[in-house]
Amino acid sequence: MLTAGQLLRLFYIQRVLIRYRLDEIIFATHLFRPIRYLFFLFPWNWFRKDKGNRAERFRRALEDLGPLFVKFGQILSTRRDLLSEDISNELARLQDNVPPFPGSEARRIVEQAYDKKLDDVFLEFDENPLASASVAQVHAAKLKNGKDIIVKVIRPGIEKNIRRDIGLLRFLAEKAEQYYPQGKSLRLTGVVREFEKTLLAELDLMREAANASQLRRNFEGEEKYYVPEVEWDLTRRNVLVMERVSGISVNDISGLREAGIDLKWLAEYGVEVFFTQVFRDSFFHADMHPGNMFVGKAEDGKSARVLVVDFGIMSSLTEFDQRYLAENFLAFLNRDYQRVARLHVESGWVPIGTRVDEFEFAIRTVCEPLFDRPLKEISFGDLLLRLFQTARSFNMEILPQLMLLQKTIVNIEGVGRQLYPELDLWQAARPQLERWMSERMGLRGLVRGTKDNLPHWLDRLPELPNKVIDLIDRLRDGKIQIENKSDDIKNLRHEMKSYNRKTVLAVIGSGALLSAAIIYGLDDGSTAAIIAGAPVVSWLAGSVGFLMLMLSIRD
């Protein structure tokens, strides 16, 4: 059930949908199609103004609905396996530019978090925010020791608004899946759950601080890549304090050239760093748009370095996911589509019963056109997306971390080719892919796996003799029973029981019929009792026999 606040919000959403002519989409659904004529009776549909194509109208409606719907649209834009290309491209244009809340309110929140006056903590605190987004805003400040920092503050009352709108989105997604023909295939409720999880995680700035700290540790000693340091003593769940870094935005091409930055190096290094995060560390920055990447000038004999900020959206891959990506990318590079298909089936990404040849043909059909151009012009992100879309048609469940990876690859490609149009992303990524394969496969992989697991094996080794003796004792005493829960085995057991029952019934029925015949044949009139009883007994026996035979045939 929706609350009163959610109902009022729902009416507001309806007004926005009408304003951007999106109510026609609702009336086109299976539920409202029988009464679609009512759509033309509403006065607001008589004099409609052109507000652009459907994708543009959808984007503008989300912007009017507020920052949380903008954030939802941004996340939805990453699910290109679900949406049409025009809507995905339009949603990618959504900008998280939100009016700031008062600096005095930010000061109050920070003082409440520290339970002391702001002047007792910071030397300076600028109430005018540096940036403002849907979940938080950032202020410049300075520690007592003179160190420049940023203070990120969660918006007041944001969690209540998030939970209200999440409830509405969940309600709308459920209705869409129930009444829209393609609703279930879009898995909108799953997208909403993913959105809820991501957004609520962004409310915990301790989590973001931990992400930044982990990424900084992974690249400790790397001079060309820098992650700002977290001030843990001053970080709370709703307040994050971090070293302030400054540099040239990767969007400022002219500024980068004036600073003497080698754009070819910058583009290739960005790709190298990203794939290092994916395959070496299995922990990558999943929000790498230009607003989160800067370049520091080369100073004091040091090379230029990439500076990154905003660590609210990070993701990781299991070794299984890494192997899936590495082997598939290398198979694609070799145009070995059968290998790609077999990898999906063998790994369980698609159902075991999937025909490899059909899957191979489907992959070749959508991917071969991509290779009708120089390799450096092929989009890594587009290739991955086409693979996901094809696999989904074979009932593959696309995991959220893989979609975040695809979105980030698209961003990295876009930035890299903006810096250096001749960027060959495949050439830049291939060393990391092959290095990971060589470390995980073959003799090196065996040695590495043995080395990693040896302490665990040694720890369990003393228990092994007792476990073997216990197993032998239980086998000897008949205490171990093997249970097979396979549906095929259950069906076979049912058929065997049915067959045995039929056999028993047939035997009894045949015996009864035979008995009836014998009794009737013995009726020679020698004994009055037999003469009197034989017809009755033979009739009863024959009837029972016939009934038994009929039951066995019916079963």
Catalytic residues: 287
CB burial readout 93-130, b (16+ within 10 A) else e: ebebebebbebeebbebbbebeeeebeebbeebeeebe
What's the gap between Cα 455 and its chain centre?
33
Q: What is the DSSP letter of 230?
A: B
Question: Which residues, in sequence order, are CB contacts of 384 under 8 Å at separation 6+?
Answer: 405, 406, 409
Strands 136-143 and 131-132 come out as antiparallel
Distances (CA, A) of 146 to 124, 132, 141, 149, 507: 9, 25, 10, 9, 100
Instruction: Cite the beta strand spans of 95-190 per DSSP E.
Output: 122-125, 131-132, 136-143, 148-154
Tell me the CA distances in angstroms from 233 to 110, 177, 239, 512, 536, one per residue in order: 13, 47, 11, 92, 101
Q: Which two tokens stand for residue 267?
A: 């583009």
Q: Which residues of 230-256 are buried (b: 16+ CB within 10 A; e: fewer)?
A: bbeebbbebbbbbbbbebbebeeeeeb
Backbone φ, ψ for residue 226 (5° rounding): -130, 130
Pick from 102, 108, 156, 90: which is nearest to 129 by CA? 102
